[in-house]
């Protein structure tokens, strides 16, 4: 086959077929359009960043967060966002999995010159995932890991006094989450999971600058830029349900690449009606550790209590009584405190999370 010329510069040889547009582009133009699109996601509307903001990149050592660290460092410089960037990693305590990927994050720290903070489940909760799996088995361990990771990221961000956490979730991940929320009937999360930025009063702002970046392009970018990333399956991972959703999505994408963006649009178009909103619990703080919670105890404290009591089932199903003091001898989570950094410019009152934001389209009844 004769080499195809790039459809943008018309001179160099095309090396990538963009999944979103079908456009055939050369390496240089590919970098250019990829970076520009991420920049557009960042500045769209009011923009996700404020000048002077301290921003933590949730870094796992995997492809998405590695490419995010690379691209954000570059864009911050190129467009002068004025951000203070940090790398924030969570060590779940999974031997042979997280050890290696943390090595990669440490390498990224050097390559991009970003300060790195690593928080471990062991330090925070007194339990590693290895030990949790030993106790609860492989069925429910993803629940523990998910709850613990989310809270660990917030706590790490609070310790770094950052205003904002960005994660490497890409378009494929978001489409997958939309599907998962539909399959779980979790309508409340549908709109929110597609938002580039979410923030409620007490939580640290979170954003997904790769919302419109296809996984294929992220991997191609990492490959052509020869970025150091680590890739292996979590040894405890089999979240079979999510796995099926993922394969289903890849099959759809192979037939029609726009499926990814179409599913994200579907998620965006769902709107909560008033009754559903009222049914949602107001946020308070955990009476034991001070973290945001919709119950007296936050999910992490409830799960930890279950672990400490030697239960082999998710403590989430436990009845939460008024007993908020941990049973004696039980490990507890350190008090959560936000030392919020005060941004130079006044924070626009974006207190709205997906739930409050009036969305377009029709209400589902």
Partner 1 sequence: MAQSIASGSSSNGLGYSSKREIATEELVVEKSGGKAGGKGEDELEIRIEFGGGLHLLFSQQPRHTVHLPRHTPSPAASSDPSPEPTASEAADNHPATMRDLIRHMKRTILSEREEMFGEGDGVRPGILVLINDADWELEGELEYELKDRDEVVFISTLHGG
- DSSP-based three-state secondary structure for 54: strand
Restricted to residues 19-58, the positions that interact with partner 1 (CB under 8 A) are 24
Q: Which residues pair with 327 in a beta bridge?
A: none
Backbone angles phi, psi at 329, to 5 degrees: 90, -15
Residue 216 Cβ, how far from partner 1 at the closest point, in Å? 6
Assigned token pair, 296: 């007296």
The partner in contact with residue 227, picked from Zn ion, partner 1, none with C-beta cut-offs of 5 to 8 angstroms by kind, is: partner 1
Query: Which range in 14-22, 130-138, 142-150, 192-200 contacts partner 1 by CB under 8 A?
Result: 14-22
- Residue that the structure tokens 């030697």 belong to: 310
Q: Which one among 4, 11, 46, 309 touches partner 1, defined by CB under 8 A?
A: 4
Is position 9 an interface residue for Zn ion (rule: CB under 5 A)?
yes
Assigned token pair, 167: 């994660």
- Could you give the CA distance from residue 89 to residue 326 in angstroms, rounded to a whole number? 28
Interface mask (CB under 5 A) for Zn ion, residues 234-273, using x and -?
Answer: ----------------------------------------
- DSSP-based three-state secondary structure for 325: coil
Is position 230 an interface residue for Zn ion (rule: CB under 5 A)?
no
Is position 177 an interface residue for partner 1 (rule: CB under 8 A)?
no
- Could you give the CA distance from residue 81 to residue 214 in angstroms, rounded to a whole number? 24
Residue 16 or 190: the one with the smaller Cβ distance to Zn ion is 16
Is position 226 an interface residue for partner 1 (rule: CB under 8 A)?
yes
Query: Which range in 155-163, 251-259, 265-273, 310-318 contacts partner 1 by CB under 8 A?
Result: 251-259
SS3 per-residue string spanning 258-321: CHHHHHHHHHHHCECCHHHHHHCCCCEECCCCCCEECCCCCHHHHHHHHHHCCCCCCHHHCCCC
Residue 108 Cβ, how far from partner 1 at the closest point, in Å? 10
Assigned token pair, 45: 């509307």
Restricted to residues 329-358, the positions that interact with Zn ion (CB under 5 A) are none
Query: Which range in 190-198, 244-252, 286-294, 300-308 contacts partner 1 by CB under 8 A?
Result: 244-252
Q: Which one among 215, 259, 302, 336 touches partner 1, defined by CB under 8 A?
A: 215
Within the chain, residue ranges assigned H as helices are 27-43, 63-78, 98-112, 121-125, 129-136, 141-159, 171-184, 187-193, 215-224, 240-255, 259-269, 274-279, 299-308
Restricted to residues 321-360, the positions that interact with partner 1 (CB under 8 A) are none
Query: Which range in 13-21, 185-193, 281-289, 326-334 contacts partner 1 by CB under 8 A?
Result: 13-21
Is position 14 an interface residue for partner 1 (rule: CB under 8 A)?
yes
Burial of 322 (C-beta count, 10 Å sphere; 0-12/13-18/19+): exposed
Residue ranges that bind Zn ion, judged by CB under 5 A: 6, 8-9, 12, 26, 29, 286, 288-289, 291, 298, 301
Task: Extract the annotated binding site.
Answer: 58-60, 64, 90, 168, 173
Binding residues for ATP: 58-60, 64, 90, 168, 173
């Amino acid at each position: 086959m004769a080499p195809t010329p790039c459809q943008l510069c018309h001179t160099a040889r095309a090396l990538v077929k963009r999944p979103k547009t079908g456009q055939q582009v050369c390496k240089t133009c590919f970098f250019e359009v990829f970076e520009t699109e991420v920049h557009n996601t960042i500045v769209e509307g009011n923009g996700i960043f404020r000048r002077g903001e301290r921003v933590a990149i949730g870094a796992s050592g995997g492809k998405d967060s590695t490419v995010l660290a690379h691209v954000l460092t570059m864009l911050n410089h190129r467009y002068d966002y004025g951000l203070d960037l940090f790398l924030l990693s969570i060590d779940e305590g999974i031997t042979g999995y997280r050890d290696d990927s943390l090595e990669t994050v440490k390498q990224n720290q050097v390559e991009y010159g970003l300060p790195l903070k690593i928080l471990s489940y062991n330090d925070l909760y007194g339990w590693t995932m290895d030990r949790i799996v030993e106790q609860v088995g492989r069925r429910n361990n993803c629940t523990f890991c998910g709850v613990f990771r989310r809270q660990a990221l917030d706590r790490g961000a609070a310790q770094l006094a950052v205003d904002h956490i960005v994660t490497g979730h890409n378009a494929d991940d978001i489409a997958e989450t939309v599907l998962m929320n539909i399959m779980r009937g979790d309508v409340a999360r549908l709109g929110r999971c597609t938002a580039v930025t979410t923030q409620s009063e007490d939580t640290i702002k979170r954003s997904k600058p790769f919302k419109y970046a296809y996984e294929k392009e992220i991997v191609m970018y990492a490959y052509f830029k020869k970025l150091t990333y680590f890739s292996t399956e979590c040894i405890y991972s089999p979240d079979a349900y999510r796995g099926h959703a993922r394969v289903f999505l890849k099959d759809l994408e192979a037939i029609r690449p726009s499926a990814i963006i179409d599913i994200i649009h579907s998620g965006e178009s769902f709107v909560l009606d008033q009754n559903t909103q009222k049914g949602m619990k107001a946020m308070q703080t955990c009476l034991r550790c001070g973290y945001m919670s919709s119950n007296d105890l936050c999910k992490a404290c409830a799960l930890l209590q279950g672990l400490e009591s030697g239960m082999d089932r998710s403590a989430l199903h436990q009845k939460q009584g008024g007993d908020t003091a941990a049973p004696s001898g039980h490990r507890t989570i350190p008090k959560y405190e936000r030392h919020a950094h005060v941004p130079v410019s006044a924070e626009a009152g974006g207190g709205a999370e997906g739930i409050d934001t009036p969305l377009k389209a029709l209400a589902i009844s």
